[in-house]
Structure 1
Amino acid sequence: MTTPTSAPVLQAKGLVKTFGRVVGLDNVDLTLHRGEVLAVIGDNGAGKSTLIKCLSGALVPDEGTLEVDGRPVHFKRPQDAREAGIETVYQTLAVAPALDIASNLFLAREIRRKGPLGSVFRMLDTGEMRHRAEEHIKRLGISTLQNINQAVETLSGGQRQAVAVARAGAFGSKVAILDEPTAALGVRETGQVLKLVRDLRDQGLGVILISHNMPNVFEVADRIHIQRLGACAGVITPQSHSMEDAVAIMTGAKTLPPAAA
């Protein structure tokens, strides 16, 4: 983890989100620095998804503030967050199975041909997209994606996840938010995705990892933000607390002193 020397890359203060009488978020703070993995854990209904959607522009909080690199931001849609350098990979994986790997990396960000061919006839520069995709995948060290022209529908679950994470790394200039990236993956593929998470961190991105898998969380996280009943129950580290402690805080069997929470 990079030692924080400047303003957090992403900071949320006092986030509140309600759905009628249901409280999704109750005055939640979150701080993420460049070059760190912040895991977000919590039981079902703890507010993890609502928190991530507020950070990524999918939901607008009722109260609270968001800052990117110390500057206030107001996300009204996911595109606003992407333009601010925040990429999100949801558990459902928004990939186009029929398209190849390079086309998926540049999905909705396609590179047009230069001159009238691109501006008038809207022709894509497939060669340039494949070249850049190959460079990015090589830089991330993704050895499982050998053929950039391969259709995503022919890839394994872990390889598809690698494509989605690579896209987040390619365009998330500041923050990558990963929602359950190892769900339904085997041991080997899980290890490959966790390596990608560490690689993104080592490249200086702030990474938010949402996961139910405690061994995965304790393997890669620098800090762990625990959600419970819509609020933050505390922030711990793998060095300061055990997996059993984390589960106890999640369930309410154990509470942290105010300074830690």
Structure 2
Amino acid sequence: MTIAEPASVPTPGTEGTRPLVLNGISKHFGGVVAIKRFDLEVEPGEIVALVGDNGAGKSTLVKIISGLYQPTEGEIWLNGEHTTFRDPSDARTKGVEVVYQDLALVDLQPVYMNLFLGRELRKKPFGTIDRKQMAARTQALVDELDVRIPSAKAALSDLSGGQRQGIAIARATHWASSLVLMDEPTAALGVAETARVEDVILKLKARGAAVLIVSHNMDQVFRIADRVTVLRRGTQVGTRRVAETSHNDIVSLITGLSS
């Protein structure tokens, strides 16, 4: 079964078509500098982790990339095109999807309605909601990502926390054409459910998606990320390839203390 409207993913390594490039992003709130000249590139099929202590600026950066805040300085490029966001809806329209810890799902609706929430498919010529088509496309996607749920027609309220997070990731996967941004997606989950969600994230990577994940869990970062970039007091203090660094090195960057 073909999944409708799949995200278009740039060819890895193609110059100028990286899903996300941030150049010199800064954010000021009056005299307070929350983010100072942040630079980052995220490639197709890459997971980049954003880490830092509380108050480091991670949430502010997430809000800039998702359109809630506009940067004071700097540029955002999506798939080779310079862009600005008016608001989160504009960011979604341009291909940026966000998975939050609180999920933003509707318990009383079935899984397939949550996948198409606000973007429902409609039958022609009368414009009634095409529930059959939405359920079929949702089932195809959760099967591909191995999100283990009873059915696309299951009520969201009947699912576990890990299953719900898997649905939130599947929804982002379906609609993102540039970037999937995840803000502490497993913070409220136990060990077993965290492992299942991480498996879904890795399948998302295998599909060629670009993923930027905010995480406080260093073990998780080293399990799933390709690179990790560190914020300290609003300043980007280092970016490392996970395969070429260590827990101690990253913790030293976060704290500013030598290992």
Deviations 1:181-221 (A, max 9, x none): 11121111111111111111111110011100000000010
Matches within 5 A, 1:93-172: 93-115=103-125, 117-118=126-127, 123-142=128-147, 144-172=148-176
Q: C-alpha displacement at 1:228, in angstroms? A: 0.7
Matches within 5 A, 1:1-261: 4-7=13-16, 8-115=18-125, 117-118=126-127, 123-142=128-147, 144-254=148-258
Q: CA RMSD in A?
A: 1.4
Of 208-217 and 14-23, more deviation after overlay is shown by 14-23
Secondary structure of the structure 2 residue equivalent to 1:239: helix
TM-score by length of 2: 0.92
**Structure 1 unaligned blocks of 5 or more:** 256-261
**Structure 2 unaligned blocks of 5 or more:** 1-10
Deviations 1:7-55 (A, max 9, x none): 3211011111122232211111111111100000000111111111111
Residues of 2 paired with 1:254 and 1:91: CA distance? 32
Residues 101 and 188 in structure 2, CA contact (< 8 A), matched pair in contact too:
no
Q: C-alpha displacement at 1:3, in angstroms? A: 5.8
Secondary structure of the structure 1 residue equivalent to 2:243: coil
Name the aligned partner's letter for residue 177 of structure 2: S
Residues of 1 paired with 2:137 and 2:111: CA distance? 11
Deviations 1:44-94 (A, max 9, x none): 111111111111111111111010112100111112211221111112211
TM-score by length of 1: 0.92
Residues of 2 paired with 1:22 and 1:154: CA distance? 45
Residues of 1 paired with 2:77 and 2:31: CA distance? 28
Sequence identity of aligned pairs in percent? 41
Q: C-alpha displacement at 1:174, in angstroms? A: 2.4
Equivalenced residue count is: 248
Secondary structure of the structure 2 residue equivalent to 1:182: coil
Q: C-alpha displacement at 1:254, in angstroms? A: 3.8
Name the aligned partner's letter for residue 106 of structure 1: F
